[in-house]
């Protein structure tokens, strides 16, 4: 059976639909931490979630950087700029959130994994597959576009 979406447009739209919700969600969450809650208030509320094996000073520094990293990485994902790097950093940040809050597996939800891990999978998709043609990366690096396009699927 031949696929109906066996073209580059399907790949490009698929990557756009992987990047946009993740990037918008990250940027919005980071902006709320900065603007509504205040970074210092957010850090003091979450300092107790820093794992014991992490030095307290590093945990404090990390928590201060998180809201700004969320906004920056979210914006990069939405724009499709430095997508593979931002996908990797986003996935690492989201996995660290899940580890710090001990929510690798969510036993109360219908899905077996926590929301940060599901979002981390989207970030890894962006990292491995690239941003697609509807991105700033495709405009800035046109020679890489051909290499990032998947080969056609033959049935």
DSSP string, the chain: ---S--SHHHHHHHHHHHHHHHHHHHHHHHHHIIIII-HHHHHHHHGGGS-TTS-HHHHHHHHHHHHHHHHHHHHHHHHTSSHHHHHHHHHHHHHHHHHHTT-SB-TTSSSSB-HHHHHHHHHHHHHHH---SSSHHHHH-HHHHHHHSPPPP--
What share of the chain in percent tops pLDDT 90?
53
50-79 confidence digits (pLDDT tens):
888 888 789 899 999 999 999 999 999 999
Average pLDDT, the chain: 85
Residue 145: per-residue pLDDT: 47
Q: Is the pLDDT of residue 14 over 60?
A: yes
73-118 confidence digits (pLDDT tens):
999 999 999 999 999 999 999 998 888 766 665 566 666 677 888 8
């Amino acid at each position: 059976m031949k696929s109906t979406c066996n073209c580059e447009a399907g790949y490009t739209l698929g990557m756009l639909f992987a990047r946009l919700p993740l990037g918008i969600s990250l940027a919005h969450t980071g902006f709320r931490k900065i603007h509504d809650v205040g970074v210092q208030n957010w850090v003091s509320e979450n300092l107790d979630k820093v794992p014991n094996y992490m030095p307290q000073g590093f945990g404090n520094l990390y928590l201060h950087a998180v809201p700004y990293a969320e906004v920056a990485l979210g914006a990069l994902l939405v724009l499709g700029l430095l997508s593979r790097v931002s996908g990797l950093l986003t996935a690492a940040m989201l996995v660290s959130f899940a580890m710090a809050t001990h929510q690798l597996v969510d036993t109360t939800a219908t899905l077996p994994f926590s929301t940060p891990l599901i979002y981390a999978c989207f970030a890894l998709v962006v990292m491995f597959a690239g941003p697609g043609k509807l991105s700033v990366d495709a405009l800035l690096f046109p020679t890489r576009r051909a290499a990032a396009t998947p080969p056609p699927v033959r049935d």
